[in-house]
């Protein structure tokens, strides 16, 4: 068993002996999405990443989740009702039920709890933006909060670490969403505090990278047809997997260096290399598949041409889909914003662009 997991299991055995101070109440969290600069693609059992990743925590693309809970000794639960955008969703409730059941090792009280969950995303449903990172982290934060309320515990310094650990078990990338600004998840030689079990704040962020903008070009609004679990799984037989994991670690090391010195040009080179490598892995998997669309490639080309013509620091990254994340410093919002409007907007479905930026992490709702 890994060290933090061991600690959490010991705490959970202790909890079973403790008295509950309250037996019902509620909590609410708004948790953001994040975009990986160095990508996590490929994993081992228990959601352990095959390589370390580094991400930018966003501001606008969030999930807001309110959980009402009630302790009930008589049930062997958890019992969950779930409403998304005001509508009862049994399919989501079943999924959350499976996730919560997994967490009973660390939070035994979940078995005897009834949960009434209300959730919504602050970004449009049909935007092609994956909501697993923001939704899983909002749920995990809520559970950590409920546990503290129920047992009268102070949040303590491990609050976000535990929330990140639990988020990871729901969706790997969700582990990074609880961290403000930039997060590292997975063991890397570039950061000795790094862990496979939870994400930590990126140690040094030069002024150059503070408040980076992420304008998300919605090339395709449909939700992806190929799940990331399926993609991670295909890395087990991908002939280039070993080289990819080594390249990701090299990129982590270089990125951590330039984040310290403020070298935006190298940051962009690494970010673009990572985006293309992620999609190269998809294409070279067996079976191979293609998520980029002609307009994705057109946008990438236009961004690169604009950068070489103007010398401005703007680059792209991709998630597991066709949409393009345009990343640039906030002090260049004017010229780059004009370029996005005139050259990139026509490539987007319905002209949709979501303007987001680096953010301060999750917020507890009042
Ligand atoms: O967290 P998952 O299992 O949905 O995987 C996310 C994988 C990518 O979004 C493609 C990359 C990343 O690091 O976020």
The confidence score (pLDDT) of residue 329 equals: 97
Q: Where do the DSSP E strands lie in 256-341?
A: 315-318, 324-328
Q: Are 128 and 321 in contact (CB under 8 A)?
A: yes
Give the mean model confidence (pLDDT) for residues 261-269: 97
The confidence score (pLDDT) of residue 10 equals: 92
**Which of 129-138, 145-154, 275-284 reaches the highest mean pLDDT?**
275-284
Tokens of 39: 């990508």
CA dist 167 and 57 (Å) reads: 15
- Residues facing residue 325 across a β-bridge: 216, 317
Q: Is the peptide bond before 287 cis (omega within 30 degrees of 0)?
A: yes
91-119 confidence digits (pLDDT tens): 999 999 999 999 999 999 999 999 999 99
CA dist 287 and 166 (Å) reads: 31
Ligand 1 binding pocket mutation candidate from 45, 56, 172 (most atoms within 8 A of CB)? 172
156-188 confidence digits (pLDDT tens): 889 999 999 999 999 999 999 999 999 999 999
Ligand 1 binding pocket mutation candidate from 39, 53, 137, 224 (most atoms within 8 A of CB)? 39
The percentage of residues in the chain with a pLDDT greater than 70, rounded to a whole number, is 100
Nearest residue (CA) to ligand 1, atom 4:
228
53 Cα nearest atom in ligand 1: 13
The confidence score (pLDDT) of residue 335 equals: 98
How far does residue 39's CA lie from ligand 1's centre (Å)?
A: 7
317-329 confidence digits (pLDDT tens): 999 999 999 999 9
Name every protein residue with a CB atom under 6 angstroms from any ligand 1 atom. Answer: 36, 39-41, 53, 132, 171-173, 228, 278, 319-320
37-57 confidence digits (pLDDT tens): 999 999 999 999 999 999 999
278 Cα nearest atom in ligand 1: 10
How far does residue 157's CA lie from ligand 1's centre (Å)?
A: 26
How far does residue 2's CA lie from ligand 1's centre (Å)?
A: 22
How far does residue 172's CA lie from ligand 1's centre (Å)?
A: 7
- Residues facing residue 182 across a β-bridge: 56
Q: Are 50 and 107 in contact (CB under 8 A)?
A: no
The confidence score (pLDDT) of residue 85 equals: 95
Beta-sheet pairing, 48-49 with 43-44: antiparallel
DSSP summary character for residue 226: S
- Residues facing residue 273 across a β-bridge: none
47 Cα nearest atom in ligand 1: 3
Beta-sheet pairing, 324-328 with 315-318: antiparallel
How far does residue 41's CA lie from ligand 1's centre (Å)?
A: 7
Q: b/e map of 326-364 (b: 16 or more CB within 10 Å)?
A: bbbbeebbeebbebbeeebeebbbeebbbebbbbebbee
CB atoms within 10 A of CB 31: 28
Alpha carbons within 13 angstroms on the beta-carbon side of residue 216 total 26
CA dist 365 and 103 (Å) reads: 23
The confidence score (pLDDT) of residue 127 equals: 75
User: Is it the case that residue 128 has pLDDT exceeding 80?
Assistant: no
User: Is it the case that residue 125 has pLDDT exceeding 80?
Assistant: no
Taking alpha carbons only, the member of 296, 347, 288 closest to residue 317 is 296
CA dist 178 and 161 (Å) reads: 9
How far does residue 14's CA lie from ligand 1's centre (Å)?
A: 34
Confidence of residue 225 (pLDDT cuts 50, 70, 90): confident
DSSP summary character for residue 112: G
How far does residue 129's CA lie from ligand 1's centre (Å)?
A: 12
How far does residue 16's CA lie from ligand 1's centre (Å)?
A: 34
Q: Are 179 and 186 in contact (CB under 8 A)?
A: no
- Residues facing residue 30 across a β-bridge: 64, 363
Q: Rounded to whole angstroms, what are the CA distances from 318 to 1, 9, 234? A: 34, 37, 19
The confidence score (pLDDT) of residue 15 equals: 87
The confidence score (pLDDT) of residue 321 equals: 93
Q: Is the peptide bond before 78 cis (omega within 30 degrees of 0)?
A: yes
Nearest residue (CA) to ligand 1, atom 10:
320
């Amino acid at each position: 068993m890994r060290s933090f997991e061991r600690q959490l299991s010991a705490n959970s055995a202790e909890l079973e002996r403790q008295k509950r101070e309250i037996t019902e109440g509620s909590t609410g969290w708004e948790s953001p999405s994040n975009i990986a600069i160095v990508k996590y693609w490929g994993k081992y059992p228990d959601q352990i990443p095959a390589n370390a990743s580094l991400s930018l925590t966003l501001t606008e693309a969030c999930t807001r989740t309110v959980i009402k809970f009630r302790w009930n000794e008589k049930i062997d639960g958890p019992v969950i009702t779930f409403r998304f955008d005001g509508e009862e969703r049994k399919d989501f409730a079943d999924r959350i039920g499976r996730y919560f059941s997994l967490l009973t090792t660390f939070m035994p009280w979940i078995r005897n709890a009834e949960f009434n969950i209300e959730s919504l995303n602050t970004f449009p449903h049909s935007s092609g933006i994956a909501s697993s990172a923001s939704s899983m982290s909002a749920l995990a934060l809520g559970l950590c909060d409920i546990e503290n309320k129920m047992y009268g515990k102070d949040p303590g310094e491990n609050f976000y670490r535990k929330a990140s650990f639990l988020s990871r078990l729901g969706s790997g990338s969700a582990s990074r969403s609880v961290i403000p600004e930039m997060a590292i998840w997975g063991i890397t030689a570039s950061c000795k505090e790094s862990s496979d079990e939870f994400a930590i704040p990126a140690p040094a962020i030069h002024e150059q990278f503070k408040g980076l903008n992420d304008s998300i070009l919605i090339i395709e609004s449909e939700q992806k047809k190929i799940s990331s679990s399926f993609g991670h799984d295909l890395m087990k037989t991908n002939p280039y997997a070993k080289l990819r994991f080594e390249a990701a670690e090299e990129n982590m090391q270089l990125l951590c260096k330039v984040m310290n010195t403020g070298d935006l040009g190298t940051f962009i080179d690494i970010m673009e290399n990572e985006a293309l490598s992620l999609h190269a892995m998809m294409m070279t998997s067996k079976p191979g598949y293609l998520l980029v669309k002609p307009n994705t490639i057109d946008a990438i080309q236009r961004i690169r041409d604009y950068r070489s013509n103007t010398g401005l620091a703007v680059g792209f990254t991709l998630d597991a889909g066709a949409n393009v994340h345009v990343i640039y410093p906030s002090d260049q919002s004017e010229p780059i914003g004009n370029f996005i409007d005139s050259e990139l907007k026509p490539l987007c479905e319905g002209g949709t662009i979501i303007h987001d930026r680096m953010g301060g992490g999750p917020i507890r709702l009042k």
